[in-house]
A and B are shown apart, each in its own frame.
Chain A
Amino acid sequence: DTGVSQDPRHKITKRGQNVTFRCDPISEHNRLYWYRQTLGQGPEFLTYFQNEAQLEKSRLLSDRFSAERPKGSFSTLEIQRTEQGDSAMYLCASSHGTGGEQYFGPGTRLTVT
């Protein structure tokens, strides 16, 4: 399977704990995006990378969220001191170049109890 993969698929954590998610994009894609989706809503942009450079971060993203793409390949999204409001599906997508179609991974469903 050469699609976008995400790990883990599900994560249940207690409020206040830190969590980290991983995304492996399609290998030749230089752009990688993180989105958050809650029930009944469309994906909400969080941040994106071109190669290893983080080009934009949503103003809605608190300082508890950080993302990296150290070698321009896989990416990690960390949430520190999780809150119940962080419960959502976290989607990763990748694309080749700018403005084109994005390929989404299956997502990581986070539940904060």
Chain B
Amino acid sequence: GQQVMQIPQYQHVQEGEDFTTYCNSSTTLSNIQWYKQRPGGHPVFLIQLVKSGEVKKQKRLTFQFGEAKKNSSLHITATQTTDVGTYFCAGINAGGTSYGKLTFGQGTILTVHP
């Protein structure tokens, strides 16, 4: 079955440093979504990428979707303490009938030291 892997599992940064998490799928994706989960909270949607090679920016966050639509990355510039949480990528498999079914990666836990 489809597998989505994320690295690193943990990332500790000093406030102001940059942060990147990488996501790789074992299968080609129709789209990929990114979610953020604060400690004790539930996943909250950040963005969706659909096109091969797509790059989207949200303030200090930059999201990329690979040319082969099998990998993605999230980069945060100049981290702040409010960026603390777990970042998940989640992919929808291309083709098939599982349209809308998300397969999540295991997440990257980000801690930011002030």
Q: Which A residues have a C-beta under 8 Å from some C-beta of B?
A: 31, 33, 35, 40-45, 48, 55-56, 59, 91, 93, 95, 98-107
Chain A residues lying within 8 Å of B48, measured Cβ to Cβ, are 100-101
**Given the complex of chains A and B, what is the CA–CA distance between A96 and B90 in angstroms?**
17
**Given the complex of chains A and B, what is the CA–CA distance between A99 and B44 in angstroms?**
16
Contact between A45 and B44, CB atoms less than 8 A apart? no
Chain B residues lying within 8 Å of A35, measured Cβ to Cβ, are 104
Q: Which B residues have a C-beta under 8 Å from some C-beta of A?
A: 1, 4, 30-31, 33, 35, 41-45, 48, 88, 90, 92, 97-107
**A103: min CB distance to chain B, Å:** 7
Q: With A99-B31, A104-B42, A107-B42 in contact, do A42 and B100 touch (Cβ < 8 Å)?
A: no
A42 touches which of B1, B98, B101, B105 (Cβ 8 Å):
B105
- Nearest chain A residue, comparing its CB with the CB of B99: A98
**Given the complex of chains A and B, what is the CA–CA distance between A104 and B45 in angstroms?**
9
A-B contact pairs, 23 of them (CB 8 A): A35-B104, A41-B106, A41-B107, A42-B4, A42-B88, A42-B90, A43-B102, A43-B104, A44-B104, A45-B102, A45-B103, A45-B104, A48-B101, A55-B97, A59-B1, A91-B42, A98-B100, A99-B92, A99-B99, A99-B100, A101-B45, A102-B45, A102-B102
